[in-house]
């Protein structure tokens, strides 16, 4: 028997997970911009406490320590997202017992303290055994009931595992940096930032398939296949752009490798011998040039073409309104990127204002979420079932 989703609460919960993930990315941006990622030297515990720790800096409540408030809020938001996607899994797999057992088992790891285990090991024992147990109970339970999990149930399970991997990456980054290996910790931070938005794409596609709108979409539509291919190319370009951004953002000083825009050297307005190309190249300058010149033009041009194409070729479908949102998001994101250069040039310390940077990060996440939604809906309108992979 196919276990297709029929719970009326599945679609709203999936949307909550999308919103919570966007909020989590926003808090993560605030933490990185403020340099608060190491406000606590251990993760996910702070001094042995998971929920309400004491600041290791002030000795007072965590919410009275500005840096720890940002970092620990990020951790609490991450736990909320993990519980939300776990609950969605339990709902789609029709196995709340597995969810309850896994949550209870997370507390069992605390017993390890009585045997002298380190906080790092206890933290890992609270994640991985519970994850393995939860996944096992879901699969075994479905087989015993003779149910074949649908695509949505499988996507939710992949999303839950991805959330656990993301939590482990965050924990490893803190512990490795505390241990003194800054280079490895920085690489993990970079991947952590990119992986967060890949997780968002997955959750958006899942939410799209669970939405009542999914059933109202009918195909085949002649433009759907082309729009879907454009969405795939858009996501590839976006993640290439995101990888460059994450690389520069998590390495202090590299974002200043090219300090002006649009000129790469000299006067930004070209009135004093400015040039489009840097005077000297290095890996930092090359990545910066890709992130601020090459990829933005390619990505913006491609997505604007996709957006206007949806307005023209998919008029009357659920894709047309998304075209407007994509166009608006691209224009706003490009403008924010230019403003970052403008404010960095004017500021005495050479740093762009934090609220512009943080908005730039979360708007980028919103943009890739829109691309993922276009991808999902175009797949449905293509005449098939809107498979996750390209038909």
Per-residue pLDDT tens digits for 343-379: 765 554 556 688 999 999 999 999 999 999 999 999 9
* Structure tokens given for 179: 């241990």
Our count of domains for the chain comes to: 2
Helix (H, G, I), strand (E, B) or coil at 55: coil
- pLDDT value for 45: 81
Residue 269 confidence (pLDDT) above 70: no
Q: Tell me: the pLDDT tens digits for 171-187? A: 889 989 999 999 999 99
- Cα separation of 87 and 94, whole Å? 10
212 and 223 both lie in a single domain? no
End of a domain among 216, 234, 254? 216
123 and 225 both lie in a single domain? no
* Structure tokens given for 347: 């500021």
Residue 59 confidence (pLDDT) above 50: yes
107 and 64 both lie in a single domain? yes
Residue 388 confidence (pLDDT) above 70: no
Confidence of residue 1 (pLDDT cuts 50, 70, 90): very low
Whats the size of the chain, residue-wise? 391
195 and 250 both lie in a single domain? no
248 and 202 both lie in a single domain? no
Q: Tell me: the pLDDT tens digits for 249-265? A: 999 888 788 877 888 87
Please give the DSSP secondary-structure letter assigned to residue 53. Answer: P
End of a domain among 216, 249, 281? 216
158 and 276 both lie in a single domain? no
134 and 17 both lie in a single domain? yes
230 and 211 both lie in a single domain? no
- pLDDT value for 347: 54
Q: With the C-alpha atoms ordered 56, 60, 61, 66, is the resulting torsion angle positive or negative? A: negative
End of a domain among 199, 216, 233? 216
48 and 139 both lie in a single domain? yes
Q: With the C-alpha atoms ordered 57, 63, 67, 71, is the resulting torsion angle positive or negative? A: positive
- pLDDT value for 125: 76
206 and 224 both lie in a single domain? no
203 and 268 both lie in a single domain? no
**Entry pTM:** 0.91
278 and 158 both lie in a single domain? no
Confidence of residue 121 (pLDDT cuts 50, 70, 90): confident
Confidence of residue 270 (pLDDT cuts 50, 70, 90): very low
List the domain range (segments joined by +) for residue 280.
Answer: 219-391
Q: What is the number of alpha carbons within 13 Å of residue 235 lying toward its C-beta? A: 24
∠ at Cα 133 (130, 137), nearest 5°? 140
């Amino acid at each position: 028997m196919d276990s297709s989703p029929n719970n009326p609460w599945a679609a709203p919960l999936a949307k909550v997970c999308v919103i919570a993930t966007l909020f989590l990315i926003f808090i993560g941006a605030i933490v990185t911009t403020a340099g608060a990622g190491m406000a606590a030297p251990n993760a996910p515990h702070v001094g042995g406490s998971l929920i309400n720790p004491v600041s290791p800096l002030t000795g007072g409540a965590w919410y009275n320590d500005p840096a720890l408030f940002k970092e620990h809020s990020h951790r609490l938001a991450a736990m909320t997202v993990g519980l939300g996607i776990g609950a969605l899994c339990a709902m789609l797999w029709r196995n709340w017992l597995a969810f309850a057992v896994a949550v209870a088992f997370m507390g069992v790891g605390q017993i390890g303290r009585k045997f002298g285990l380190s906080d790092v090991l206890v933290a890992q024992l609270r994640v991985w055994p519970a994850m393995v147990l939860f996944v096992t109970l879901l699969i075994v339970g479905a087989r015993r009931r003779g149910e074949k999990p649908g695509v949505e149930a499988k996507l939710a399970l992949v999303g839950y595992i991805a959330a656990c991997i993301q939590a482990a990456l965050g924990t490893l980054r803190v512990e490795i940096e505390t241990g003194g290996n800054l280079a490895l910790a920085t690489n993990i931070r970079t991947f952590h930032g990119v992986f967060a938005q890949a997780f968002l794409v997955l959750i958006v596609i899942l939410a799209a398939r669970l939405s009542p709108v999914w059933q109202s979409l009918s195909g085949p539509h002649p433009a759907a296949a082309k729009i879907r291919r454009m969405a795939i190319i858009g996501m590839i370009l976006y993640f290439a752009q995101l990888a460059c951004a994450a690389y520069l953002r998590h390495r202090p000083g590299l974002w200043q490798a090219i300090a002006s825009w649009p000129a790469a050297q000299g006067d930004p307005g070209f009135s004093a011998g400015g040039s489009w190309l840097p005077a000297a190249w290095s890996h930092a300058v090359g990545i910066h040039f890709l992130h601020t010149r090459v990829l933005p033009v390619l990505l913006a041009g491609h997505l604007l073409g996709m957006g206007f194409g949806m307005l023209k070729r998919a008029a009357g479908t659920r894709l047309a309104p998304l075209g407007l949102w994509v166009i608006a998001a691209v224009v706003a994101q490009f403008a924010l990127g230019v403003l970052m250069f403008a404010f960095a040039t004017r500021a005495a310390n050479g740093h762009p204002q934090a609220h512009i940077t943080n908005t730039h990060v979360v708007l980028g996440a919103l943009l890739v979420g829109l691309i993922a939604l276009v991808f999902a809906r175009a797949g449905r309108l293509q005449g098939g079932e809107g498979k996750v992979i390209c038909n």
